[in-house]
Amino acid sequence: MLLIPAENAISKKNPPYLTITLILINIFAYIFLQGQDNEIFEEAYDSYTEAELLTQEKTAFEEYALEHRIDVYQSIQGNSMLPDEYLVQIILQDKHFANHIQNLSSYSLEWRQKREKVNNILEETSLYQYAYYPSDPSIFTAFTHMFMHGGIDHLVGNMLFLFLFGFNLELILGRGKTLSLYILSGLAAVLFFGFTTKDPYTPLVGASGAIAGLMGGFGGWYGLKNIRYFYWFFVIFDYIKLPAALVFLFWLGKEFIMSTIQDDNVAYMAHFGGLLAGFLCAISFKLLSKPSQAATENTEENEAKGQSQYELKYHEACTAFQQLDFERARQLFTQLIEQDPNRMDYYSQLFALEKITPNSRRFEEFCNLILLKSLNDTRFTKLSDMAISELTDNGNGLKVLPADSLINYAGSLIKKGKLHQAKPIINFLVKHYDFNEDVPKLLFRFGLACEQNNDHITYEKIFTYLSKKHPESFVGVEAKKALGKT
């Protein structure tokens, strides 16, 4: 089951530069540090087979595997169907076997010369240079393994999750704390992998542990707060609100269970360690930030002589919105609109907030308010167009708005010459509110505007309709007279 946070939007004012940089570093490493690995391994394979080293090393490798890599030993021992090509690949990818054979008494000069040629080739691979081996721990590879990947699928999957979770935390924690959490989670993944792996001679590569830390950090920061997630389970997918901490426990349990039932090349316990580290880091950052935030707020209050109370509250509202504290953000934006009903920023932010729940009565009422504001203030024109578009797209349509609001709004569109935008609204009003005495008048005005715009066909259709539908009314009589003149 896939669960991805779906509430927070990318901030145009604060783009996720750190997340993008990390993604670019991973892509750079894959292309320029790992791009030649396949060719290098092929060259090493050819050199190994030409030197006929398998005849000398097969028995030595089986003895080595029995002592150090029991799972590998069990897979090759007595398996007559195992191709030599497969066994050679296993031997070449085992960095420590190359060191092991140097201590064998049977390691002759001829054998050494052949092997050193192969080893010199293998030392050029990223697996030998940058992968982390629990059997040979290194601070350098503990860092570098985070930027290596086992293939293009591994890279693409990791970068997708890095982006989805990275920009969320970067927006909330800031770049410094997010980077710290990312690195610490990657190191924790190394430790958990080293302590739990059955085969310490297996290398660890990939950003999965560090990215798992971002996932854990998301749960740690929001705790029990309900967060909107996109879920995908087989062919079922939708949005759901769940406590972030509960989703964290789901991820944690999933990795632990998979580590016990699966026997593949996925480092589940590295993910487990990254998740746990990210969760704890986020909680620590949250606890440590509270006193400093209070001190900062006090300082800002003392230094805000040139900054109005409204601007401080607006900043607080935007911060609450970014941190997904929607109720607090809604309360603050509403207060700001009441205090300063002509500030466009307040309406734009509250509109972005309310459209998260497009089926709510609150959203419909706010769209109506925007339409009414646009009648007397051209600054609201774009926002009113967006409100109409959102209502139409979400399936509720124009029926959720009062008829008087739609009549006045359509009239303003006609006055501005926006006949194309007014037409669907007028069609809706004629269909559902023809009994309203203002609708025929609006339709009459629309017909006249069409004639002035040289749309004679629409003009004739409208006036014919008015003359037949409302023959006794003023607009019906005038429409009939106009048609008689033409």
CA distance 340 to 29: 52
- What pLDDT is recorded for position 188? 97
Q: Give me the sign of the Cα torsion angle 276, 282, 284, 287.
A: negative
> Rounded to whole angstroms, how far apart are CA atoms 349 and 412?
24
pLDDT-derived band at 297 (thresholds 50, 70, 90) equals very low
Confidence of residue 44 (pLDDT cuts 50, 70, 90): very high
> What's the pLDDT band for 8 if we cut at 50, 70, 90?
low
Tokens of 272: 């487990």
Residues with Cβ within 8 Å of residue 23, at least 6 apart in sequence: 159, 162, 163, 166
State percent of the chain over pLDDT 70: 94
pLDDT of res. 295? 47
Region 450-474 average pLDDT: 88
pTM: 0.62
CA distance 289 to 381: 41
- Answer for the pair 135, 201: CB distance below 8 angstroms, yes or no: yes
Six-digit token pair at 390? 């959102």
Q: 473, 438 in Cβ contact below 8 A?
A: no
The average pLDDT across 240-260 equals 91
Mean pLDDT of 107-127: 92
> What is the pLDDT at residue 57?
92
Query: What are the strands, taking DSSP E only, across 142-268?
Result: 226-233, 236-243
Residue 206's contacts (CB-CB under 8 Å, 6 or more residues apart) are: 145, 146, 148, 149, 150, 154, 158, 267
pLDDT in tens, 149-195: 989 999 999 999 999 999 888 888 889 999 999 999 999 999 999 99
- Residue 427, token pair as written in the block: 């069609």
Distances (CA, A) of 309 to 253, 301, 302, 348, 390: 47, 9, 12, 19, 32
Residue 298 has pLDDT above 70, yes or no: no
pLDDT tens, position by position, 191-240? 999 999 988 888 999 999 999 999 999 899 888 888 888 888 888 888 88
pLDDT-wise least confident of 22-26, 241-245, 287-291, 410-414 = 287-291
Between 294 and 397, the more confident residue is: 397
Evaluate if residue 3 carries a pLDDT over 90.
no
Tell me what the mean pLDDT of segment 84-88 comes to.
91
Per-residue model confidence as pLDDT tens digits over 359-406? 888 988 999 999 888 888 888 889 988 888 888 876 678 888 899 989
Residue 174 gets the label, from left (phi > 0), alpha (psi -120 to 50) or beta, of left
Q: What b/e string do you get for 377-403 counting C-beta neighbours within 10 Å, with b at 16 or more? A: eeebeebbbbbbebbeeeebebeebeb
Q: Is 52 exposed, middle or buried (0-12, 13-18, 19+ CB in 10 A)?
A: exposed
Residues of the chain with pLDDT > 90, as a percent, come to 39
The pLDDT assigned to 291 comes to 55
Burial class (CB in 10 A: 0-12, 13-18, 19+), 431: exposed
Examine the pLDDT at 294 and tell me if it is beyond 80: no
- List strands edge to edge, sheet with 236-243: 2-5, 226-233, 236-243
Strand partners, 237: 232
Name the average pLDDT for the chain.
Answer: 87
- In the numeric block, which tokens belong to residue 8? 């927070």
